[in-house]
Amino acid sequence: MKVTIVYDNEVKSRNLKGGWGFSSLIETARAPSILFDTGADSITLLHNMEELGIDAKSIGIIAISHAHGDHTGGLRGILEVNKEAEIYVPASFRGTIPGRKVTTVTEPLQISEEVFSTGELKGVEQSLAVKTEKGILVMVGCSHPGVGEIIDAASKFGKVHGVIGGFRGFRDFNRLSGLSLI
């Protein structure tokens, strides 16, 4: 399993562009690659994908955590390049994506053999739970429902070993005890 941060506020390489928002690529052995969120704009997203050697056309699934622009802004651009990817959006996502298989997520569901959605939590955001050799790795957008609630929802798929993504408004550091990756 491999996670590549594609879009973030900070970058470690001069060749990458930073921007307010988040996107990551999740690659597992038994599933198509998954783009989780699309950052705030297509230009930065597609530039970083090219710099990171990610073929936008090879992405099999695009999952959107929640409908805020810093997580959906690059969606139009990636859809123009990739005509085949399946889309998973939370029920609170408004808008249409014509000509695509779109799954509206309300309840927990299996996306692929090793990847699950927590379902839309508190009517605003879904997170992904990825099965790894070490346990469940939770991919979050901003954590609007709360990190604790997201960890609880993801733990239905196995023991959580790590969380990657935004921790908006987070202060309950005891909820992170026992995690090996944050």
Q: 31-84 pLDDT, tens per residue?
A: 899 999 999 999 999 999 999 999 999 999 999 999 999 999 999 999 999 999
Measuring CA to CA, which residue among 131, 111, 156, 129 is closest to residue 1?
Answer: 131
What digits encode the pLDDT tens for the residues 100-118? 999 999 999 999 999 999 9
Give the pairing type, strands 109-112 and 102-105. Answer: unpaired
Q: In degrees to the nearest 10, what's the CA dihedral of 71, 76, 79, 80?
A: -150
- Mean pLDDT, to the nearest integer, of 145-150? 95
Spatial contact of 18 and 8, defined as CB atoms under 8 Å apart: yes
pLDDT at 68: 95
| 160 beta partners | 136
Q: What is the pTM of this model?
A: 0.95
Rounded Cα distance between 182 and 180, Å, is: 7
Rounded Cα distance between 11 and 137, Å, is: 22
Residue 174 has pLDDT above 90, yes or no: no
Rounded Cα distance between 20 and 117, Å, is: 24
pLDDT at 30: 87
Alpha carbon 41 to chain centroid distance? 15
